[in-house]
Structure 1
Amino acid sequence: MVMTMTSMIAKTMATAAMTALVTGSALAADLHVLNWKGYGADEPWAIEAFEKATGHKVINDFFNSEQEMLTKLRTNPGLYDVVMINAAFNDQAFNEGLIEPIDTSRIANYANIGEEKAKSPMLNHDGKVYGVPWVWGVTAIAVNEKSFPTLPTSINVMWDPAHKGRVVLRDDAVEAIQFGAIATGQDINDIKDMDAVKAKLTSLMPQIRTFWSAENDWNQMVAANQIDVGTYWSGSADRAKTNFKLPVSLVIPEEGCVGWLDAFSIPKGSKNVEGALAFINYMIDPAFYTEWVAKVGAPVSANTKALEALPADAFNRVVMGDPKIASRITFQAPITDAQREQYLAIWQEIKVNVK
């Protein structure tokens, strides 16, 4: 049975308050969080409830790419207390000494994180936890329902001349190259024929209207009926339909899609570790998650109890939990600096072809 909104808020506040007492963080303190903007962890109603329950004042800072996030950690040592990191980038943050090990015994809700996510080698190093799984999702394609009486099934719809000038891609080299790998039938984590990827993406450029970098960009374009189809995140597509009532549908192509796992880490030199632990515990609490889904729309929680608290027909249970869908998802693995530089060089060269 799904909890009422009032009971969910009460439970979330109670859990956060209990964590504050357990960790000794009841005294008010600033808590600096580095995050994606408009991505759950900065929801005003959630921040208000957390602050009221714990006394910690949340101060958000934002980034538009993982590389920007890493740069902010490097150039502001000791400023941030919590950071959201795509698990595929956790290795890099760890190797650069940007994040600290996390004492998960002081995070009550960690016990309900799915075992596969909790034990991810991307988040665990030298026998210690450096990232607490939060949510996961996919980069697939989303369509403007006004342009598709019948939803497409193949990634190749983006190359259809009928949609010329009405296709969008996220301006991210890694994601673009991995998308090209899928379109050429290759493993995103083991690309054998980069020339084929380059040729496929180059052939897509005449179709492109623009490149997007923020969720709001995509939503504004579809609201203005300027685009037909483009790469998009699953949680964002859900929010577009649920929160903004936009004519958006997510399509998991038969060729596959890119999977990602987002986690919370504690930056090296955090001045408020106690508050960070309380914040992470709050953000993986089923009460917060179910309210986030109901009010806004969200990716899939890594907390099994949170998923169980959703209605049986919820998108994140029915669709994202479908074994047929799961078989089409390949999760991002870490890449080397050399690979990243190669992807960026190819991507910059390809983009020149967009007029």
Structure 2
Amino acid sequence: MRMPKLTAFLTATAVFTSVLTLAATAAEVHVLNWKGYGADEPWAIAAFEKVTGNKVVNDFFNSEQEMLTKLRTNPGLYDVVMINAAFNDQAMAEKLIQPIDVSKIPNYADISPDKAGSPMLVRDGKVHGVPWVWGLTALAINEKAFETPPTSIAEMWNEAHKGRVTIRDDAVEAVQFGAIATGQNINDVRDMEAVKAKLTSLMPQIKTFWSSENDWNQMVASNQIDIGTYWSGSADRAKTHFKLPVSLVIPGEGAVAWLDAFSIPVGAKNVAGAEAFINYMIDPKFYVEWVTKVGAPVSANAKAVAALPEDAFNRKVMGDPDVAKRIQFQAPISDAQREAYLALWQELKVNVK
């Protein structure tokens, strides 16, 4: 039976109005993060959008300094930003991020107390960053170049790897590795001359510098490097997701540890969407799927880590008390220190062909 014209018109109008209403309520959540770092996984975005009705719009950076610059020059554009906790002081001082109402983020209750209470993220009792994941900048090796994995950071200086070593193009991280190699605290470098001498002697070993996962992975895939500094989560992804001959090595001398957190920039237009996004990103269900499908750093959510198999790398190795004794978490540094590290790093890089 044909529908009367008036009824058909009213029905069509109602459907059209519903579509418009849905479109109007489907707010965008603008996220600033590293590319290929959880928040832009297509399956994760699809799941989040389906549950919340928010649409994720990703933007990316290649360094913490670039991230801070994007926040400064685009006020109000981003709703969520991922920040290495060591840079939260700077972001707070410049009023780039705002306090977060963690009562709106249910999964926050399961964040391990040591991470949730980090003084880098909590200021005057107010939370400015929700801990997400932590990991290491340690060593990763091309398995084709080693019969057995090395145990010392000194392997980077081994003449057998001349021209086949890589290190991240980051002044702070480079100096911190120099500190580890000379037996110093990465957050209290007392002998910069020793660090300079050690890094100077490393330069003839260097093939090139890297700044992204893709850089590192391509060099291994084409068998251009034997060993280099790398992020623990990235090494896991290289092996798990990309099937590359990569293994992470945590040297006996130690490694640089970092804590990444999500913050809400000042002027964010969709704070509710940001809270929902952060809650999703620290959820155990998302984390286990991320580790399984792609490979990831260690979740700051204790329940998420406990949900992994007992022999999982992020439980067995990263949770090993002996490893915990060897790692040093990055702490904030002053502008003067950063400038000194940058000047040293630029001087050293000139000598790399």
TM-score, normalisation: structure 2: 0.93
Structure 1 position 35, deviation (Å) = 0.4
Task: Describe the SS at the equivalent of 2:25.
Answer: coil
Superposition map of 1:174-193 within 5 A: 174-193=172-191
2:251 aligned partner: 253
2:16 aligned partner: none
Q: Distance in 2 between matches of 1:135 and 1:56?
A: 23
Deviation string for 1:237-257 (max 9, x for gaps)? 000110011111100000110
1:287 aligned partner: 285
Deviation string for 1:83-136 (max 9, x for gaps)? 000000000000000000000001000000000000000000111000000000
Larger radius of gyration: 2
Q: Distance in 2 between matches of 1:72 and 1:337?
A: 18
Deviation string for 1:254-280 (max 9, x for gaps)? 011000000000000000000000000
Match for 1:153 among 145, 151, 156?
Answer: 151
What 5-or-longer segments of structure 1 have no aligned partner?
Answer: 1-25
2:226 aligned partner: 228
Structure 1 position 27, deviation (Å) = 3.0
1:12 aligned partner: none
1:93 aligned partner: 91
1:197 aligned partner: 195
AA matched with 2:115: K
Is 1:108–2:106 an aligned residue pair?
yes
Paired positions, count:
330
Is 1:326–2:313 an aligned residue pair?
no
Superposition map of 1:305-324 within 5 A: 305-324=303-322
Deviation string for 1:123-166 (max 9, x for gaps)? 00111000000000000000000000111000000000000000
1:130 aligned partner: 128
Is 1:69–2:67 an aligned residue pair?
yes
Percent of paired sites with the same residue: 80
Q: Distance in 1 between matches of 2:171 and 2:32?
A: 22
Considering only aligned residues, what root-mean-square deviation do their CA atoms show, in Å? 0.7
Q: Distance in 1 between matches of 2:136 and 2:208?
A: 21
1:273 aligned partner: 271
Q: Distance in 2 between matches of 1:303 and 1:150?
A: 33
Structure 1 position 55, deviation (Å) = 1.0
1:44 aligned partner: 42
What 5-or-longer segments of structure 2 have no aligned partner?
Answer: 1-23
Task: Describe the SS at the equivalent of 1:64.
Answer: coil
2:12 aligned partner: none
